[in-house]
A and B are shown apart, each in its own frame.
Chain A
Amino acid sequence: MKHESVETNAGLLIILTLAVISVGGLVEIVPLFYIDDTIEEVDGVRPYTPLEQRGRDIFLREGCYACHSQMVRPFRDEMLRYGHYSLAAESQYDHPFQWGSKRTGPDLARVGGKYSNEWQVQHMIDPQSLVPESIMPGYPWLAETPLNYSDIDRRMIALKRVGVPYSLTEEEYEANVEKFGEEHARMFDIRNAEDSLVQQAQTENFDGNPGTITEMDALVAYLQVLGTMVDFSEYDDGHFAEFR
């Protein structure tokens, strides 16, 4: 093909340009889908419960990712501040993942359990009342807005389609019991997702207001589980280097 015929044909030029610039992305991304060690073998990682999943939806809706990453990188300073570096396995049920690279606020990959529920609620309502130098906006309406969970089953079905092992049949449920234990497997059953959500919100009462299930309940439930699924004390130093 002569150079002139490419230069004088805009359509062909666009197609060939796209082909050339996709090479970089394709060679870096595609192999990750079939390299065995991409997702580490590790115990404890499970899908989100219906309540946590709704909390995650709110996290995305409010655009928290614009300022908060969820990826502790393998550097000493990050380990000292945030804890163990993030594993790919830990976000295997995230669609989409929230790794990010923009840290206006701190990384949240291991924020679960770091603060009490009441701190999270107060901080969400008025961040400056607890962290005077913070520039985070307040989200007071979350504590007043009842959580809409009428479509939780459809949300879970959508996630199931992209690979999250929520169960719709008895067979899938049994497989989850095997993999995640009965208590969790019940939470992952789409057939009684609404009941599971209500039950978790009422038992754990994340927002300190037992009467209504609010968006704050869901968001705090999500924040409190972040980075807590893997018990890193079970693994040696450098164990996860094997997978790289």
Chain B
Amino acid sequence: MSTQDNREKDPNQVETTGHVWDGNLQEYNNPLPRWWLWGFYATIVFAVVYWLIYPAWPIGDSFTKGFNTITFEQNGEERTMHWNTRALLAKDMQTGTYAVRQREMLEQVAAQDYETILQDAESMSFVNAYAQGSFGTWCAACHQVGGAGVVGQYPNLRNDHWKWGGTVEQIEETLHQGRLGYMPGYRDTLDGDQLNQVAAYVLSLNDYSVDQDEADAGERIFTGTDGGCYQCHAMDAQGLASQGAPNLTNDLWGLVDVRGAESDSERQRLVANFVRNGAQREMPAFADRLSDAEIKMLTAYVHSLGGGQ
């Protein structure tokens, strides 16, 4: 019976709920629409079927597990248990279409050496796709999404300036065990003039115009016992990867914004200031967080960003 029919009926002939408001307002007591009623019964049937298939009702200190099962591999043995999202995930990680394809590629890359990976187009396209995601999750917070780093904070991975070395072995070691970079501040060792002299010397190595007398004095500090800078940066200022001491002669700057400086004097002041304060930077170790295959792929990815040696 549709509402259209009811409206055409004489109100006195339709059954009402018996409520009367304001003397003449009444409420029809019609049966529920049939489609609604059947829909309601269907939900009840659905619920009962659901209870039988999936975990549902609590009973004491346990619950009904349902008849649906999931089979996955645990510790080399096949294991079948009642349906639940954790077992579903275990199965998905083992036999899901994309998980399997991904694992095959991971195994392929893990079995190759770096030389092969970097030259094999198929491996490299997988490395780029996978490592881009890993890089975004684990590395981009410091090194930024494209790997260009933050001047003054975190190293650029796209140029060939490497504090800890840019060969695949060195990059892998960096990822594996992390790095703790430390340059002491010289505020107590060198006075203001000396700091300016060291700065002038370092800038002169990169062909910036500086006062030659200052630079000469700076060289004596750098290579002598007053500063002792050579102990980490080497006598020729080309750095020592084992100390994480950067090359100071290639005009590539990570922690001091030398290229962004607007004048010669500002440039010198920035470098001198940095030497006065020193710096400490930490790269976390990833050996416990990422598998060897993932570290391998990140290594190949970082190496291929442009600066690999």
Q: Which residues of A contact B133 (CB under 8 A)?
A: 80
Classify the interface of chain B: helix, strand, loop or mixed.
Answer: mixed
Contact of B19 among A4, A131, A239, A243 (CB under 8 A): A4
Q: Smallest Cβ distance from A24 to chain B, in angstroms?
A: 13
Contact of B153 among A83, A130, A241 (CB under 8 A): A130
15 CB-based A-B contacts, threshold 8 Å: A27-B58, A31-B63, A35-B62, A35-B63, A36-B61, A74-B89, A76-B93, A114-B284, A118-B280, A122-B153, A132-B144, A237-B72, A237-B73, A238-B90, A244-B85
Decide yes or no whether B51 CB sits under 8 A from chain A: no
Decide yes or no whether B99 CB sits under 8 A from chain A: yes
Decide yes or no whether B126 CB sits under 8 A from chain A: no
Residue-wise interface mask of B (84-105) relative to A, using a CB-CB cutoff of 8 A (1 in contact, 0 not):
1111111011101011000000
User: Given contacts A31-B63, A130-B153, is CB(A113)–CB(B284) below 8 Å?
Assistant: yes
- B interface vs A, CB < 8 Å? 17-19, 55, 58, 60-63, 72-75, 79, 81, 84-90, 92-94, 96, 98-99, 133, 137-138, 140-142, 144, 150, 153-154, 280-284, 289
Q: Smallest Cβ distance from A103 to chain B, in angstroms?
A: 15
- Complex Cα distance, B47 from A27, in Å, reads 15
- Complex Cα distance, B35 from A89, in Å, reads 46
Q: Smallest Cβ distance from A88 to chain B, in angstroms?
A: 11
Task: State how many residues of chain A have any CB contact under 8 Å with chain B.
Answer: 39
- Complex Cα distance, B90 from A89, in Å, reads 19
B153 and A244 form a contact (CB under 8 A):
no
Q: Smallest Cβ distance from A114 to chain B, in angstroms?
A: 7
Contact of B150 among A74, A85, A117, A129 (CB under 8 A): A129
B86 and A81 form a contact (CB under 8 A):
no
User: Given contacts A238-B74, A239-B74, A240-B86, is CB(A115)–CB(B93) below 8 Å?
Assistant: no
- Complex Cα distance, B92 from A244, in Å, reads 17
B58 and A35 form a contact (CB under 8 A):
yes
- Complex Cα distance, B61 from A36, in Å, reads 5
B282 and A35 form a contact (CB under 8 A):
no
Q: Smallest Cβ distance from B277 to chain A, in angstroms?
A: 13
Decide yes or no whether A198 CB sits under 8 A from chain B: no
Q: Smallest Cβ distance from B215 to chain A, in angstroms?
A: 33
B74 and A236 form a contact (CB under 8 A):
yes
User: Given contacts A36-B61, A74-B85, is CB(A237)–CB(B142) below 8 Å?
Assistant: no
Contact of A236 among B17, B75, B89, B282 (CB under 8 A): B75
